[in-house]
Amino acid sequence: MALRIAATKSLRASTTASVSRRAFSSLDRMQTKENYEAVLQKFAEIRACAVLRTPTSEACPKAMQAAIDGGFKICEFTLTTPDCLDHLADFRQKYDGDVMVGCGTILNTEDAEKAIDAGSEFIITPVMLPDVIEWCAARNIVCVPGCQTPTELVNAYRHGAPLQKLFPGVAGGPMWVKAVSSALPFLSINPTSGVDLDNAGEYLKHGAASVGLVAPLFTPEAIATGDWDQIAKNAEKVMNNVRPVGPYIRK
């Protein structure tokens, strides 16, 4: 019986390894190491990403254009936005080499494939998804997975995520990031909830590698009324708080 159990465990392990090998044997959508490094360097230099969700397709490009006009150089289109990938592709073509565009709310490798095909330069997940992280890591694609606890942040790092998204926000704000960054200095934390127009710089000063701006940048009121000028003003205020902190020293 013991031998049978051992054999079964061995077979399961072998099957799992075989599936894993098949998953990565055909590395379609492979990116270059240089591209991977360029994406990380852009995050390190700019340190702030505009994260957009809109209830209508029509509002999406207008809102993101306003954020870019206000100074943002990194933009994330989320799959919860209607026609997200079409808008992402348009902005990638329009701003290629100037503004870096990525895709968020990625929940599986199929989502990641579609995002990369549309021109996404990085992948963001709302939660810690090892299969997506490993799929990206095998292809030199920067993946920034959503994490809530120090344990999840470390696990994301171990699976191959060079940046770790802190989502949703945690009590303690910048001081929480400082405590975790001090204890786990190999992490590069990207808070993307709880960051507003005034405290973005504080997060960076207290150890965050970069930050993501969602509702405080793209306020529901501005989206609903089409007040793109207000979004541009919000973006300008954020970037004025971020730029003085300077570049992030990559790890």
Q: How far is CA 47 from CA 35, 53, 71, 120, in A?
A: 18, 20, 12, 18
Residue 179 in contact with residue 199, Cβ under 8 Å?
no
The distance between the two most distant Cα atoms of the chain, rounded to a whole number of Å, is: 73
Q: Which amino acid is at 60?
A: C
Task: List, in order of start, the domains of the chain with CATH numbers.
Answer: 29-243 (3.20.20.70)
pLDDT of res. 9 = 38
3 contact partners, CB below 8 Å, separation of at least 6 = none
CA pair distance 171, 194, nearest whole angstrom: 9
pLDDT of res. 251 = 86
Q: How far is CA 91 from the centre of its chain?
A: 17
pLDDT of res. 170 = 87
Which stretches does DSSP call E strand in the chain?
Answer: 48-52, 74-78, 100-104, 123-125, 143-147, 164-166, 189-191, 211-213
Q: pLDDT tens digits, the chain, 251 residues: what are they?
A: 443 333 333 333 333 343 344 444 468 999 999 999 999 999 999 999 999 999 999 999 999 999 999 999 999 999 999 999 999 999 999 999 999 999 999 999 999 999 999 999 999 999 999 999 999 999 999 999 999 999 999 999 999 999 999 999 888 999 999 999 999 999 999 999 999 999 999 999 999 999 999 999 999 999 999 999 999 999 999 999 999 999 999 98
pLDDT of res. 5 = 35
Q: How far is CA 126 from CA 94, 102, 147, in A?
A: 27, 14, 8
Secondary structure class of 101 (helix, strand, coil): strand
Residue 207 in contact with residue 189, Cβ under 8 Å?
yes
pLDDT of res. 21 = 42
Angle at 74 between CA 194 and CA 122, to 5 degrees: 95
* Residue 67: count of CB within 10 angstroms of its CB: 28
Single pTM value for the model: 0.89
pLDDT of res. 133 = 98
